[in-house]
Amino acid sequence: MNAFIDTLEQRLTEMEVKLTFIDDAVQALASADADQSLRIASLERALRDLRGELSSMRIGNADDPHSEPPPPHY
């Protein structure tokens, strides 16, 4: 019976070690997920700002085309 208990203790120790590695991996993934979420939010803000700038540039350039000077070949 002593060998049985030793085997169970060994298996339990192996499971605890594996669980520790799994827990570390889950924590690393959670941290990476949080970092990615922040980066995505930052990129979404930058994209929104760029779209706004592009829209205002289009509006600014949509003024009367006759007010622009003629091209140099005229």
| 9-67 pLDDT per residue, tens | 999 999 999 999 999 999 999 999 999 999 999 999 999 999 999 988 877 766 666 66
Distances in whole angstroms, Cα of residue 35 to Cα of each of 22, 27, 46: 20, 12, 17
Output the six-digit token pair for 67: 């007010």
| Per-residue pLDDT, 72 | 83
Residue where the block lists tokens 């007010």: 67
Alpha carbon 63 to its chain centroid, in Å, reads 39
| Per-residue pLDDT, 32 | 98
